[in-house]
């Protein structure tokens, strides 16, 4: 399992992605991690028809997955190939589809939640949008997932997370809040607390989470 190049062709806050061949990539977490749970959640979602990359192998911090071709939702919006309103519709639809999946354990009221579903974690492929980066995914309350998506978009909208979309994503947030499944503010305080605990957040970003949460509340009519 040797990458074709030493340098990753994509990178996030926690992991690097290396090209193995035209059909496979290696996602490698920089810190100690066990990808088994992530792979299990992805396989479960895929078994119910939810759009995720196929996972070929998962061991320790490494996961070998299907290589997907296409821009992220954010890149498509930046290039003008995807209107921000359409991006909001797509993101809300993906959350709704996810939350409609049956619980993994019989009798449980919880559903699968991604906990990091935002425009950088959706790839626009020939087969439609595909959700990536399931590191945080678990079983839990759907409203927490919706609140986190709204909060992350709000962090970009208010400028606490630097992103090329910048303040232009503000309109997307309002449309997303109109369409999002469940109640985006019922567990917003829990979502804010969850974001504050994430080690990838800078102190400056953490300091503005309350402001981002207030922006979400202001957008709910």
Give phi and psi for 216, each to the nearest 5: -60, -50
Residue 131: strand pairing partners: 122
Give whole-number Cα distances, 26 to 55, 148, 183, in Å. Answer: 10, 27, 36
Q: Are 57 and 63 in contact (CB under 8 A)?
A: yes
Percentage of the chain lying above the pLDDT 90 cut: 78
Q: What is the pLDDT of residues 135-190, one digit of tens each?
A: 999 999 999 999 999 999 999 999 999 999 998 999 999 999 999 999 999 999 99
Q: Are 142 and 162 in contact (CB under 8 A)?
A: no
Residue 140: strand pairing partners: 111
In angstroms, rounded to a whole number, what is the distance separating the alpha carbons of residues 162 and 61? 27
In the structure, what pLDDT confidence band is assigned to residue 20 with cuts at 50, 70 and 90?
confident
Interior/surface letters 8-38, b for 16+ CB within 10 angstroms, e for the rest: beeebebbbbbbbeeebbbbbbeeebebeeb
- For residue 45, what is the enclosing H or E element? helix 36-47
Q: What is the pLDDT of residues 68-118, one digit of tens each?
A: 999 999 999 999 999 999 999 999 999 999 999 988 877 666 899 999 999
In the structure, what pLDDT confidence band is assigned to residue 212 with cuts at 50, 70 and 90?
very high
Interior/surface letters 119-144, b for 16+ CB within 10 angstroms, e for the rest: bbbbbbeeeebbbbbbbbbbebbbbb
3-state secondary structure of 147: helix
Angle between helices 188-197 and 209-219 (to 10 degrees): 150
């Amino acid at each position: 399992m040797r990458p074709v190049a030493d340098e990753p062709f994509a990178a996030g806050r926690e992991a690097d992605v290396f090209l193995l061949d035209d059909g496979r990539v290696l996602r490698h977490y920089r810190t100690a991690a066990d990808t088994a749970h992530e792979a299990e959640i992805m396989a479960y979602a895929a078994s119910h028809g939810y759009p995720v990359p196929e996972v070929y192998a998962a061991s320790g911090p490494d996961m070998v997955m299907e290589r997907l071709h296409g821009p992220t939702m954010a890149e498509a919006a930046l290039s003008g190939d995807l209107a921000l309103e359409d991006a909001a519709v797509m993101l809300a639809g993906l959350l709704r589809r996810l939350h409609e999946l049956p619980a993994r354990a019989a009798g449980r009221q919880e559903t699968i939640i991604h906990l990091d579903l935002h425009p950088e974690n959706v790839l626009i492929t020939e087969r439609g949008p595909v959700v990536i980066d399931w590191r945080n995914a678990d079983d839990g309350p759907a409203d927490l997932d919706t609140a986190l998506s709204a909060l992350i978009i709000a962090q970009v909208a208010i400028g606490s997370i630097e992103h090329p979309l910048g303040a232009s994503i503000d309109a997307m947030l309002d449309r997303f809040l109109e369409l999002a499944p469940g109640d985006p503010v019922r567990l917003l305080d829990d979502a804010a607390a969850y974001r504050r605990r994430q080690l990838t957040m800078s102190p400056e970003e953490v300091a503005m989470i309350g402001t981002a949460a207030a922006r979400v509340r202001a957008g709910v009519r």
